[in-house]
């Protein structure tokens, strides 16, 4: 049986919609105290009010996590209002689907993706770690993707940022696990969220729903496992580590065929 989340103070970024909103509601229903973080104050307040109306406990902290001053102010407010922070869920993310050859003059694609997916997550982690170390325990849950475990084309900016976050997660686990800090990486497949819906070609693609995805975050917190994901992702990681060249070459025709089939359904 996993650890009880009742009474835990859990910070969730990207909490104004999608997976973050669903995870906040599931964890609040299980008795956790939820600190909701996102840029959109109106939507964040809506999620907070819905949780509190349902009998949960939630607080809203609007912030632009790509802005260091805004990030610092957000953390200061959280620490001022809560005696402890038990879990940080770095869920906020931005994704771009674009071939590398079409991004030759678009360095900003990589900059804005790394800023939110990696640097914001690291910045928030570094700000909250001292409180967790002072407590003698804490957990950081970093959200990644199945696509970092298999050779997926067209998402180079997104995957590079998530791979950086995974490497940071491994370093943190190696350095701090003996000080009571658990680190979990959740590898989601494609999830039907407002972010994925912006890519029209994926309109007809089967995806995980947000409630099931949120359940994976709950599981990561309850089990404190280093990795939560699918068997496909685990097999993909092993195959890619053992034979990166052959695996990448063999899978590319499959992805091209999938894109053609999805594009045909849009016509």
What is the set of domains in the chain, with CATH numbers? 9-266 (3.40.50.720)
Nearest to 121 by CA among 191, 71, 77: 71
The confidence score (pLDDT) of residue 244 equals 86
The confidence score (pLDDT) of residue 2 equals 61
For a pLDDT cut of 70, what percent of the chain falls above it? 90
What pTM, to 2 d.p., does this model score? 0.91
Q: Phi and psi (nearest 5°) for 160?
A: -65, -40
Q: Over the stretch 214-228, which tens digit does the pLDDT of each residue have?
A: 999 999 999 999 999
Residue with more model confidence, 108 or 251? 108
Residues carrying an active site annotation: 158
Positive/negative CA dihedral, 82, 85, 87, 89:
positive
Q: What is the mean pLDDT of residues 183-194?
A: 88
The confidence score (pLDDT) of residue 204 equals 63
Q: Among 173-177, 241-245, 256-260, where is mean pLDDT lowest? A: 256-260
Positive/negative CA dihedral, 73, 108, 97, 246:
negative
Q: Over the stretch 96-154, which tens digit does the pLDDT of each residue have?
A: 889 999 999 999 999 999 999 999 999 999 999 999 999 999 999 999 998 888 878 88
CA–CA dist 20, 121 (Å, integer): 14
Exposed/middle/buried for residue 118 (C-beta within 10 Å: 0-12, 13-18, 19+): buried
The confidence score (pLDDT) of residue 190 equals 82
pLDDT confidence bin for 192, thresholds 50/70/90? confident
With contact defined as beta carbons under 8 Å apart, do 150 and 236 qualify? yes
Q: Over the stretch 147-176, which tens digit does the pLDDT of each residue have?
A: 888 878 888 999 999 999 999 999 999 999
């Amino acid at each position: 049986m996993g650890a009880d989340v009742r009474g835990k103070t859990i910070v969730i970024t990207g909490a104004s919609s999608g997976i973050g909103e669903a995870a906040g509601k599931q964890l609040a229903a299980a008795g956790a105290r939820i600190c909701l973080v996102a840029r959109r104050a109106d939507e964040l307040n809506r999620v907070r009010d819905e949780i509190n109306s349902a009998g949960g406990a939630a607080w809203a902290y609007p912030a632009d996590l790509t802005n260091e001053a805004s990030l610092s102010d957000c953390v200061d407010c959280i620490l001022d209002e809560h005696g402890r922070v038990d879990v940080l869920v770095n869920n906020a993310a931005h994704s771009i689907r674009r071939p590398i050859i079409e991004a030759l003059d678009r360095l900003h694609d990589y900059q804005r993706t790394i800023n939110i997916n990696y640097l914001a997550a690291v910045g928030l982690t570094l700000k909250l770690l001292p409180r967790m170390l002072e407590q003698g325990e804490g957990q950081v849950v970093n959200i990644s993707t199945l696509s970092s475990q298999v050779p997926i084309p067209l998402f180079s900016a997104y995957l590079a940022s998530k791979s950086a976050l995974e490497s940071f997660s491994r370093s943190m686990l190696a350095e701090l696990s003996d000080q009571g800090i658990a680190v979990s990486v959740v590898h989601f497949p494609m999830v039907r969220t407002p972010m994925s819906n912006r890519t029209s070609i994926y309109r007809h693609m089967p995806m995980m729903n947000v409630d099931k995805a949120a359940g994976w975050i709950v599981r990561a917190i309850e089990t404190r496992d280093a990795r939560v994901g699918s068997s496909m992702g685990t097999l993909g990681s092993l195959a890619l580590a053992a034979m990166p060249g052959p695996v990448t070459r063999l899978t590319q025709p499959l992805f091209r065929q999938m894109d053609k089939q999805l594009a045909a359904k849009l016509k």
